[in-house]
Structure 1
Amino acid sequence: MPRDLHVLVRQNPSADYTRLPRQSGPADAGPLKGPAPLDIVVSLRRHGDELHISAFRPGERTPGTRMHRARLAVPAPVLLAKASRLRSVWRDRLIGYDPDPFDPYPFATAVDFTPHAAVAERKVAELAEEGRYFLETMFDGTDRSLVRFREYLSATLTEHGSLRISFDSDLHLPWPMLAVDTGRPDPWADFLGHRHQIEQTGAAYPPIQPPNSARAKPVTSLNTDDQLTGIGRAPEVRKLLEDRSQLTVRTDSDLLLEALSAAVLDEDVMYFWCHGQFVANDSPYEQLAVRLSDDRHIDAELVRRHRRRHLDRPDAVFRPFVLLNACHTGQSAAAELDHLGRALVDLGADGVLGPQLQIPQEFAAEYAFAFLDHYLTGEFTAGEITQQLVRWFAREYRNPLALAYSLHCGIDSILELNP
């Protein structure tokens, strides 16, 4: 006689006929694998020269009448100019410090600042004060909404310990180099990049790509200029990549552009150890470009041109974490200019880490070794590592230059490995 069959569906082989990442599941399916929620998201939108800012903390009840938001009194061009000034202060007052012709540029030629610890501490205190001044002028004003927002954000950044913060911003600002006033005598603890894990977002929606398969050994590339291969710990960085990954080395722009033109460029880490500079390109704004061993400048537009046809292809793969260890690659010359890191993220990169200013090459090589040594373990996220390195260089070497590295997306980027 007929009877009901009790069926339990344990799989979903069709994935609901969608390529979109799954956001939720049945109650009995257990916790979904994925990054933890951010602690706070700060959104900075530009409308002409006006700037509008808002913030929320996932899991925290917003005010009963509105979100935390306000219109800034400072115009966007003025804020961008202040950001450029802050980068220049770091360059001139720290890296450009040259008190003794017999010991020229001590903070540009060494990683360890402890032989000049007293001077280094004074410089750090000065840079922290500059970072506080930037935030104070950014939120200066008497409008009631702005005053309330300023109080809320200041309390959040100073009273809640270490947070995971995403600045979703139309302006690329040196967030880790900014500072709050904690009232403590230690200026290191006031820098946002020392207190918190920080990323800047604001890119396009990521392209939908095939599922990522963890592998036993990561796939990496070293895109470099032959003239830089012997500087500092650069040889050790290459050996690290050779020993712990499947490494491809590119020293010619044609090889890099050929790889970017392929539908599948399935690398876990792309490391650039090369020159970065602004070039005119007959445009109203200078274009940020990197250069390998040849003389071709590779800018955001060239990268987009070579990869554009694969952006919406269902079989295309491009999701590396990118370490752009070249001068200026973490920031743009003007608000109207998409920087190189933004272009790579728009095309699918999982995150981009690069310096906000011209970093001394000895320190850049040291930073790259430390970052990759941690990242290739598959145990730490990029956000965790960047904060750890800020604190480590401060503690061991009294060196604040790790604060100059800016994470564009990728706070949750982590290398997934099979044991």
Structure 2
Amino acid sequence: MIHRDPIRLAAGLFGVDEHWHRPVSGRRTLRNDVLVAVAFAVGGVLSLEAARSVGALTTTELSMAWQLVWILLPAATLAVRRLLPLATLAVCCLHLAFTAWLADDLSAVFAIQFYYYFVLFTAIAWSRHRRAAMAMTALFGAVSLLWVVVEVAVRDTLAAFELRSDLGAFSPTAGAVVQLLLTNAVVYASTIAAGTTTWWSARREARTRAQALTVVDQSEQLSDRAVGTERVRIARELHDVVGHHVAVIGIQTAAARRTFEVAPERATTAMLQAEETARSASRDLRLLLSALRERDEAHGGSGPQAGLSSLLETVESFEKLGLEIDLRSTGDLEAVPMAVGLALHRILQESLTNVSRHSTADRVEVVLAVRPTGRTSGTASLRVTDNGSPKGNTSGSQVGVVGMRERALLHGGALRTSTTADGGFEVVADLEWSDD
């Protein structure tokens, strides 16, 4: 089990378990890498001539033409170093092996040494296949070690130097081998560190960018949801405020039309009531629009001030339409918060409007019960029961019932509708509040 730890460590360093591919923009990347390849070709030729000028290539058996090929071939592979990083590294390993075996003098050319480790860095930093990149990096290290062995053991390169044996703790051969190994190991490890650091930096940047996009997307969704909720609330308010008054005006004007010729005074009274209802609608609409411009009522805003104190006024307005309404209440109505009182008022208003428009009822029973459940909490139950049956061709759109149910849910309660035993209709709303 212990022998697997270095492999796991290397896998973690290379990001083998990361399900992410570093993006490469094909055309732009290819253009930039072609420029790098051209620059390397020019620099490689200059480096080759510099090495030849100082006599570093006197023992090579390759002609000048082949020496140029040895430089220009790596330059060509650099044009696709990021598009095909592992393939480029494979060519690099072959080039290193053939250089060690056939043209070891060319290893003294700086451009070739730079090419080897630059390609290794690119493969580590850009490869999409992390496990293969780790394996190819190990292969590169093995080929580099093989080059040291060939130089020392096979070619006996050290024999060309005059080495003294009395200058250090190592023998001349051992000292040369240690120096070669340390130099290559440091450069090899530094290249791996640079490549993995670059890859992980790109990974973190991509993760940060993805998280930022997620936050933006979630913010947009929350914003859209808030807008949708606000639209529903505004529609509910407009339906409750305007719809009620328009329905009452319709009933009053219809009564005036029917009694205009037979009882002009009753028609006049109905028209005066319609006029007063229109003024009330205008006033409530102004209050609603003002509240919408300022603050939401659920956050303590100054919504239309039609709370429980306006119940009697609402009942009287419907009694003028011919309904007999029995209003009873128990408990401390002043303990009910404004928002809950407004919701109860709107539910009562909508219920009575539905009775006037869609029922044959002439009598309605309204019962409001307020019960404290704590020092700053309580419940309120509103029951509206009529004695009529549905009118023909007045089914309605059910928008009002939906709005009442939403108001009840907004305050932690529920709303139920049902038919009574004598054929009437009943609405029961239970609301809660708490300041804790």
Which of the pair has more CA radius of gyration?
2
Higher helix fraction: Structure 1 or Structure 2?
2
TM-score, length basis structure 1? 0.22
More relative contact order in 1 or in 2 (CA 8 Å, sep 6+)? 1
TM-score, length basis structure 2? 0.21
Higher strand fraction: Structure 1 or Structure 2?
1
